[in-house]
Structures are given as structure tokens and as C-alpha cells.
Chain A
Amino acid sequence: MTAFAQHFLFEFRTGLRNKDRLLLNYLFPLGFYVMMGLLMVNINPMFQETMLPAMVVFTILSAAILGLPSPLVEARDGGVFRSYRINGVPSLSILAIPALTTLFHALIVSAIIALTINPLFGAPLPVDWVSFWATSLLVALACAGLGSLIGVISSNTQVTVLWSQLIYLPSMMLSGMMVPLSLLPAGLARAAALLPATHAMRAYAAYAYGQPVSGSALVSVLALTAGGVLALGLAMLLFRWDSQLAERRAHPALALLALAPYAASLLFL
């Protein structure tokens, strides 16, 4: 088996073996999904219309934004990367493989939700499944990029939680997952364009459900793609093998550039 396959298998298993990762990859999203299906649909029947994309975005956010960064910080601080380095494990594998396996876990949970959401909670299914899964992959790429970047720039796990919550909480409130964008004040709705989840909800509505959307769904797709690629590229640039080594290739503030595609989308929406 190739080194890549060995590494992928190990990281995939870690997503199940590590209790924190298991919680954020599977238990939390699935538990939240059931809770929302039982409660939210009764409280706000409109939620049913966007329930599937909202739950998929929630799953990806949990796994990538909450689950991915801390293990990177812990591995760096615990000397795991140093050990990897002297055994020839490239930094690209160290960043890309956990991002890929996180994406896999998120897609497995998304598939469980997609298979059960209509029979259990009567939520409408996409009219175009290819677009639905393509959008899901894109959202996972964008969020995994951001999650990796947070892990790389954070000096410790407390800082990781802070950065993660700065993306996670506004995404829950402002992206259209829980409350339609049309109900938000104009300023907040505009600010929500800085969040990948907002673009994800727009892309799902336009391409997977064939619904009319405010703004250009193509711009959202481009923002997610550019955001994901840029975040992963910046994570590679800012990656450090060792917390004891002071040398950095660039200032961590450069990570803010990862939001540039989302900020630029404001000009075109």
C-alpha cells in the first residue's frame, strides 16, 4: 500500500477513534439533525424547505471548522510533525490528508441525512443530485481549507476554539441555515457574504433545488472554490513543523487573505 493510502487510512480511522473527532464528525451533527427535525420543523415550518442543505452545511462546519484545527495544534505541540518530518512525511500530506478524511466523514453523515430526511421529517429533496453533491464537495473544500488554516496559525487549542467560533457561530445565525437571509437586516445580510456557509446555501438553492436566489449563485461557487484553494495554499505557506521553532515563512495575519474571495464576492452579488 502506498504511503498516501496508509496515511489516509490512519487519518480516516482517527476520525472514528478519537472521541473529540467522533463527536464532531458524527455524533454532534446527527444528534443536532434529529433534534432540529423533531423541534424546529414544528416551530418554523419554513425551515423544512432548507433543512437538507442546512444540515449538510452544519455537518461540514462541525467536522471542518470545529473538529479539524485542534488536532493539528496538538500534533504540532506533541512533536508528531517533527517525527513525521524526519521520516519524510511531506507537509502537503500532513495538511491535505486530514482535510480529505474530514471531507469523507462529513459526506458520510451528509449521505445519512440525505437518505433519511424525507422519510423522517418530510423535507424536500434536491431536484438535481449531481449539483447537490458537487456543491457539498465544494463547501467541504472551503471549510476544510479554513479549518486547516485555523489549526496552522493557532498557537494553542484555546486560540483555535476562538477562531473556529468566529466562523461557526455567525454561520449558524447569519448564513440562511436557520433564518432566511431575507429576514435579516440588510447590513447583516451583506456581512453574511463573508461566510462560506452563506454562499453554500445560495449555491444549493440555485443549483440543487432550482430555486430563484438573490444575487449570483455562480459568484458564490467561485467564492467557495477560490476561498478553499486560497485557504489551503495559505495553510501550506504558514505551516510550522514545530512549535519550538520560531521561524515562520510569513506573518500569521496573512491568513486573513483567505477571506478575500468572500469579501470580493460582495462586489458582484
Chain B
Amino acid sequence: MDEPVLQVEGLRKSYGDTVAVDGISLTAQPGEILGLLGPNGAGKTTTLECLEGLRRPDVGRLEVLGLDPTRQARGLWNRIGVQLQSSGLPRTMRVDEAMTFFAAYHGVAPRYDLLERLGLAEKRRALCGELSVGQQRRLALALAMLHNPPLIFLDEPTAGLDVASRVELHAMMQELRAQGTTLILATHDMAEAEKLADRVGILLRGKLVALGSPRHITSVGASWTKVSARTENDCLADGAPAFPEVLQQQASEEYAMYYSSNPGPTVAALLAYIEAQGDRLIDLRVERPSLEERFLELTQEEAR
């Protein structure tokens, strides 16, 4: 296995009496997309800012690309790309000027192709203050990529983007991963994290409550599996018996849904019942909870 590009051990950061990040440990491998999920105030941005060298942690060992972000931030900034939550660009700076300005500080040639790729070619002469939120985010992303860094931090990259831009951005992120770039993605968007991230860390109240692949997170600890069935004569609609291992059941217009703690016996009993009723199965789905459902479950557990 390659050396991790990012290692965090016991990161803790407080603001006065408020603990924003409480003992987080994680790593990221080269070419990996690591998603950080959590509600507002969970500690995602503080974690990113500590890793980016913008904030000094109270406790913890941090290593990013072999550098300590607290002590070697200056060396780090030329090797990482950062898309901040707010674009942070001067309102009076033109789009192409931003490209030449930041390229000059990174000591590289401007990458106007990135502006084209991100749909900003027509806005090259526009002032940053005239751009929409989505356009500002795309520009911030282009600037984060212009010096070809091996590690890019993205804080809510698709917030405010239209569908087409979101698809383009996702494609670009996958392309970067294929080239070996590591992406640390803080997002609220569960579907985005599930689709893109190789691993996901779920942060709640400053604590990392789950870390692993989206599949792993949704399977480990999840106490139920959803079994949905649809039949020709709706024999499951009314008067169906309680199937084994079912924790809860629901009916929508077409499907009967069972939340089962053990789907094997549930499905077997369900099929037997349909056959006994002389009905015919049209559709049967056995689904593990989505990342979003697992996230809500974890949130509720944490609240208890």
C-alpha cells in the first residue's frame, strides 16, 4: 500500500468552551476520494482548515503530504489545492485576472483550459463580483486545480450548481482520481458522497462516528434491510400475516415494504404467502439502507 497522503491522529480543536473537533483520526490514500459528511456544525470545515494549515489544532498529530500543516504551512500551500466554502475572491478581480494572479503566485502558467472545462470561458472578462454563486465555486475549483496539486480539499463543491455543472464537476473529480489526485470532499450531499467517495467519514458533534466505504458504512451496524414486493392482485395490501423477522412494515400505492432484521426468512415466508394466495409476484427488491438512511440512523443514535 502507498504511503498515505494525509494522516490525522487525535485531532482536537475548541473555540472557547465549544469543542468543534473531538479526537478525530483518519488517513487518506493517493488517488482516493475521501468524503466527510455531517450536518452543519459537525466539525467538517474546522477539520479541513486544520489540515490546510489555516487553523492550529489544540491537540493531535497531523501530516499532509509528509508536512506538518501547523509548522510547514508555507511549504504545504504550494502542494495542495483548496476550494474554500466561500470563494474568497476580490469582487473587482476579473476571471482571467484571477487565473493569472494565482498562477503567478504558484509559479505556473495560467490554465485557461480549466475555465473552458468548467463553463467559464464566456465569463473570462467578468468581474468575480458579477458571477453567480455557482460560477464563483467553479472558478474557485479551477484555481484550486491550476498548479496540478496531488491533494485537493473541496468544501461543499457542488452547492449552488445546476445539474449540468454538477455532472461535469463529478466527471472532473473522477478524472482527477484516475490521475492519482487525492480529493478530500466535505459535503452535505449524501448521494454525491455515495456516488463519488471511495471512503466516507461521518462527523457528528466533532466526533468521527463512522469511517469506511459507503457500502461498508451502510451494512455495518445497520439493523435492518428493506424488502419491497409488488404483486399482480395486491394480496399483500390488506390482511397479510406478520412475516418473520420484520421490525416494521409500510405500504405505498404499489409496494408493500418490510424492514427486516434478517431478510432471508422474511423473503422466504413472503414468497410462500404470495403463492398460497394464488397471486403472482411482479417485483421484489431487497435493499440495504442508503448512505442517507444510515446517516439519519447514526444521527438519531448520537442524539440518544
Contacts and interface: CB of A to CB of B under 8 A. Distances in A.
Given A2-B104, A3-B105, A18 B92 contact: yes
B233 interface: no
B156 to A, nearest CB: 14
Contact of A86 (B82, B89, B90): B82
B54 A1 contact: no
Interface in B75-130: 77-78, 80, 82, 84, 86-93, 97, 100-102, 104-107, 127
B88 A89 contact: no
A82 B90 contact: no
B105 A13 contact: no
B102 A87 contact: yes
B32 interface: no
A85 B84 CA distance: 12
Interface stretch (A26-34, A73-81, A145-153, A251-259): A73-81
A14 B101 contact: no
B55 interface: yes
B40 to A, nearest CB: 15
**Which residue, A87, A88, A245, has most C-beta atoms of chain B within 10 A?**
A87
Nearest to A5: B104
A10 B89 CA distance: 12
B92 A86 contact: no
A10 B106 contact: no
B151 to A, nearest CB: 12
Interface size class of B (residues with CB under 8 A): 20 to 34
A17 B92 contact: yes
B74 interface: yes
B52 interface: yes
Contacts of B62: none
A78 B100 contact: no
A88 B74 contact: yes
**Which residue, B52, B91, B106, has most C-beta atoms of chain A within 10 A?**
B91
Nearest to A14: B92
A190 interface: no
Nearest to B97: A10
Contacts of A2: 104
B143 interface: yes
Contacts of A14: 90, 92-93
A78 B92 CA distance: 13
A27 to B, nearest CB: 17
B88 A83 contact: yes
A89 B143 CA distance: 14
A1 B101 CA distance: 10
B47 to A, nearest CB: 15
B89 A83 contact: yes
B105 A88 contact: yes
A242 interface: yes
Nearest to A4: B104
A140 B167 CA distance: 52
Closest 8 CB pairs of A and B: A83-B88, A79-B88, A3-B104, A6-B104, A14-B92, A86-B82, A3-B105, A17-B92
22 contacts: A1-B100, A3-B104, A3-B107, A6-B101, A6-B104, A7-B105, A10-B101, A14-B90, A17-B127, A18-B92, A78-B86, A78-B90, A79-B86, A80-B90, A84-B88, A86-B53, A86-B82, A86-B84, A87-B77, A87-B106, A88-B78, A88-B106
Interface of A: 1-3, 5-7, 10, 13-14, 17-18, 75, 78-80, 82-89, 241-242, 245-247
